[in-house]
Structure 1
Amino acid sequence: MDVREYIEHDATGLAELVRAGKVSAEEVQQAARTAIESVNGELNALVGDLFDKALDASETGPFAGVPFAIKDLVLHAEGIPQRDGCRLLGPGIPFPYDTALMRRFREAGLAAMGVTATPEFGFNAATESVANGPTRNPWDTTRSPGGSSGGSAALVAARALPVAHANDGGGSIRIPAAASGLVGLKPSRGRVSVAPDFADPLMGLGIEFAVTRTVRDAAGLLDAVHGSEPGDKYLLPGPATSYLDAARPPSGKLRIAVTTTAPNGVPVDPACVAAVRATAAALEAAGHTVEEAAPEFDVEAFDHANLTAWCSFLADGAYGAAAALGVELSTDVLEHTTLACAEYGKTLTALDMYAAERVFNATTRAVAAFFTGYDLLLTPTMAAPNTAIGHLDANDPSLDARGWYDRIFAFAPFTALSNVTGAPAISVPGTPSAEGWPVGVQLVGRYAAEETLLSVAAYLEEATPWADRRPGVLAR
């Protein structure tokens, strides 16, 4: 299989070729290796080198032989060093076991070939770090592919990989999907297990999954990896048939709320507004009821509670790692804003954490009440199509913890709400900007109702197709 053929197939298509014996898994993975090496010099999407050989995976899983990569954060594979995007961990800490999701990726047949870049501890809407340098967007290498799953998104967007691991604590699946022209599904809290290392990472905000180019890949992969592990806090009902069966245009009529107004009041780029309006028109033309509406919640309290969650998470990670390694925290091992957030997080008390939990509860109940009247909420994914490299500089010494938080969420004001509520959300490509950049639109659904999101996303994939769009940096 040569690279020109390889890049024309999504993960489902490649798996079908392998199953039919039209190409071997080894041939697919060699094409992937060539494809990745052809673009990584421009994109800086990998951490370290490709593995000498793909990690072991099932030869009978639904994605048997399909090339894959794992993000350098939260999920880990046995024996593979994890760095979390920071200098503090040096060459990385290898774990002696797979996380549950890594095991399920292997059982699905996905052949992990390397580790993808993330910003330091994942707290950035761009993928740039002192440790690894900036990861670049294949659509425009002066721009970021988004964060924190930007390394994965850059390789999938450049068609070097069909699918890659990603996770999302405030938009980190959906933001890079939007900036890079991909499908980014954030499943419901509890849909994908975070065992054994966590119960509720980031006070429940953290969700594990992937970025893909097609809706059917997102649906098929969710079929392969969803479900609880012994000891998990959540046991969600599964789909009536399968997520892949759900990923077809809906037969019924839906009531869809739409807003282009950012909850925190930041201005929204006209290209993002236009993409949402075009999507709303397509949904209305399909017979769905589309009307202006948005959930109401205390935005000031929400932001303070979200800051509490993130800074406590960063304090736990940074101070915990420093104690284990016998290292003193300073800007020699952490970026300025990470250190500022960790130091602020260290000052938080049990009362602060309970106060944040109360805000999250009030917000979740207000949004759930809103969804008793609507099936979906349509918004821009971000307030702008992307950011220039360096705009979200986590090493900026002028920013304290709140200043850094505000900088991030001025760019990404629409995504964090569904992390707090636990509801599923998906970003799909909308109408590109005048510059030719991808622009994402976000659909948010009711808790545990991924089927509705996948169904509408599948309709949009047919009605406003994006499969033929090609970035400037394309695997070859």
Structure 2
Amino acid sequence: MTRVHAFTDDVLADHDAVGLSALLRSREVGVLEAVDAAIARAEQVQPALCPVQHAAYDEARREAARLDRDGLGDEAFAGLPTFMKDNVDVEGMPTNFGSVAYVARPARHDGGVMKQWRGLGTVTLGKSRLPEFGLTASTEFLTEDPVRNPWHTGHSAGASSGGAAALVAAGVVPLAHANDGGGSIRIPAAACGLVGLKPTRGRLAAELADTVLPVQVVAQGAVSRTVRDTAHFLAAAERVRPARRGLRPVGLVEGPAARRLRIAVMTDSVTDIPTDDATRASVLGTADLLAAAGHELVEERLPIDPAFADDFALYWALLGLLTSRLGKVLYSRDFDHAQVDPIVKGLAAMVPGRWRSLPGAIRRLRGAGALYHEVFRRFDLVLTPTLGHVTPPIGHLGSDVEFDLVFERLRAYVGFTPAANVSGGPAITVPTGLGEVEGGSVPLSAMLSADHGQERTLLEVAYELEAARPFPVITG
């Protein structure tokens, strides 16, 4: 096992985003100092972990020098170094969606997501890596090096926000942009021992392309090492761009609440593929912590139609077909379909024989919110695993694996996260400890889900869990 991180005694130390931002505002740390330290850390881990897609270090240094000269504004994270995921537009940077099928030109304008992040005051060091079009659960490629897990470089960092999670877990930056269309914030957070909140649909700004999908499954957010960073990020982002009409602001959540909750516990997914022992134990241990704190825990099989998994798989395949077959229209005139990743090609190939099933699948997925709401008439939260088993070795979900096999492996791995994407509800992943694997250990996690608009409750309980069982530290 090789554990790789960049934590050292520079100005970043082991500060979270809230702590570092306070030092920047007080001028105890200069913005250029912090940016230089983050760049040095990124360059240190890049050979082993490969999390950076596009480095914009010179531009970041110029922006940092300007902020040191002109002074910081009142933004929540003014001067904080970070990375954006390579599937959102940042002016002057290419957006390649993890693909080698084309070479993107620099974006002419910021997308909606970057506009919101600029309102936070962060300094963007570049773009983090994702698997092609974010359509699989490990950041691996056919012809390029994978993103490796800082806790164990022989294992996956998850996906699709795998580069973001590796950068934060390794200590390069304390907070990084991530997004989630089927678990892509929560999966890498679980793999890398981080906090990952998928907000309610409409809570944060979106890219235009995400709003025109037949089923709007993508949510924007961040990965962090502490609950307070995620809470402060959400509150600050809401101040920059309020949530869509009908969603009350979450506001700043600063700790647990006194209210005790009724929480359903489910350890096996609707696919009926058993959860592995380490993951099951981590979730049941989390349930014991919550019960000891006075919450009511009820083991229950939730009323989710087993056909949901098949419907989501077909919709997932449709996204693969659209992104690969419409590449010349969506991405670049030089898009070369022959260079598309085999997993994306395999997904696309699932659709032609099932065209007649698509309208019904989309209709049922659009209607999933009603059943989701019904669950929360009886429970405040639902506690489940994030994933069906611990993060796998590099290659288990590789692009060179025969498609039918890798697809079955993906179904076994990612059985819990898609429900929140389809329904639009919020869910949060928190670390629960470490699980032993060959040659070392990797993080374990649990996931809490809530009804629409209930991010405050998720964060309050996440604070409670963090205090009761401090999250693992990679330097330990």
Structural mapping, 1:228-377, within 5 Å: 234-239=244-249, 242=251, 244=252, 246-299=253-306, 301-323=307-329, 325-326=332-333, 330=337, 332-345=338-351, 349=355, 352-377=357-382
Q: Give CA-to-partner distance per residue, 1:86-142, whole Å, 9 cap, x none.
A: 11123x232211112201111101111011110011111111113542110010000
Q: Give CA-to-partner distance per residue, 1:341-394, whole Å, 9 cap, x none.
A: 234446765x64431232114432222111101000011111112010010023
In the aligned structure 2, how far is the partner of 1:417 from the partner of 1:46? 30
SS of aligned partner of 1:226: helix
Match status 1:40 vs 2:40: no
Determine the structure 2 residue equivalent to 1:130: 142
In the aligned structure 1, how far is the partner of 2:336 from the partner of 2:346? 11
Paired amino acid for 1:238: R
Determine the structure 2 residue equivalent to 1:411: 413
Determine the structure 2 residue equivalent to 1:462: 467
CA 1:328 to 1:167, structure 2 compared with 1: closer, same or farther past 3 Å?
closer
Paired amino acid for 1:421: S
Paired amino acid for 2:430: V
Cα shift at 1:80: 0.6
Cα shift at 1:279: 0.8
In the aligned structure 2, how far is the partner of 1:178 from the partner of 1:214? 13
Q: State which drifts further: 174-183 or 411-420.
A: 411-420
SS of aligned partner of 2:347: helix
Paired amino acid for 2:86: D
TM-score in terms of structure 2 length: 0.90
Give the one of 399, 403, 408 matched to 1:394.
399
In the aligned structure 2, how far is the partner of 1:193 from the partner of 1:342? 28
Q: Give CA-to-partner distance per residue, 1:177-217, whole Å, 9 cap, x none.
A: 01100000000111112144441547211111111111111
Q: Give CA-to-partner distance per residue, 1:46-96, whole Å, 9 cap, x none.
A: 1143432328587431101111001111x2101210111111123x23221
Give the one of 181, 189, 195 matched to 2:193.
181
Contact 1:187 1:425 in 2 (8 A): yes
Structural mapping, 1:434-473, within 5 Å: 434=436, 435-466=440-471, 469-470=473-474
Contact 1:191 1:236 in 2 (8 A): no
Contact 2:215 2:366 in 1 (8 A): no
In the aligned structure 2, how far is the partner of 1:211 from the partner of 1:248? 18
Contact 1:117 1:150 in 2 (8 A): yes
In the aligned structure 2, how far is the partner of 1:178 from the partner of 1:2? 24
Structural mapping, 1:190-205, within 5 Å: 190-201=202-213, 203-205=215-217
Cα shift at 1:35: 1.3
Query: Percent identity between the aligned chains?
Result: 35
Paired amino acid for 2:318: S
Cα shift at 1:40: 1.4
After the TM superposition, which segments of 4 or more aligned residues of structure 1 sit over 6 Å from their partners?
227-230
Contact 2:10 2:37 in 1 (8 A): no
Contact 1:76 1:98 in 2 (8 A): yes
Cα shift at 1:303: 2.2
TM-score in terms of structure 1 length: 0.90
Contact 2:178 2:220 in 1 (8 A): yes
Contact 2:116 2:240 in 1 (8 A): no
Cα shift at 1:471: 5.2
Determine the structure 2 residue equivalent to 1:147: 159
Determine the structure 2 residue equivalent to 1:421: 423
CA 1:7 to 1:145, structure 2 compared with 1: closer, same or farther past 3 Å?
farther
Aligned residue pair count: 458
Contact 1:170 1:419 in 2 (8 A): yes
CA 1:405 to 1:225, structure 2 compared with 1: closer, same or farther past 3 Å?
farther
SS of aligned partner of 2:59: coil
Q: Give CA-to-partner distance per residue, 1:379-420, whole Å, 9 cap, x none.
A: 111111201001002343x325xx654321211211111111
Cα shift at 1:172: 0.7
Contact 1:15 1:65 in 2 (8 A): yes
Paired amino acid for 1:167: N
Paired amino acid for 2:28: K
Unaligned runs of 5+ in 2: 1-6
SS of aligned partner of 1:256: strand
Determine the structure 1 residue equivalent to 2:121: 109
Paired amino acid for 1:470: I
Contact 1:152 1:211 in 2 (8 A): yes
Match status 1:63 vs 2:77: yes
Match status 1:84 vs 2:91: no
SS of aligned partner of 2:318: helix
In the aligned structure 2, how far is the partner of 1:65 from the partner of 1:144? 31
Contact 1:117 1:132 in 2 (8 A): no
Question: Root-mean-square deviation (CA), in Å?
Answer: 2.4
SS of aligned partner of 2:176: strand
SS of aligned partner of 2:302: coil
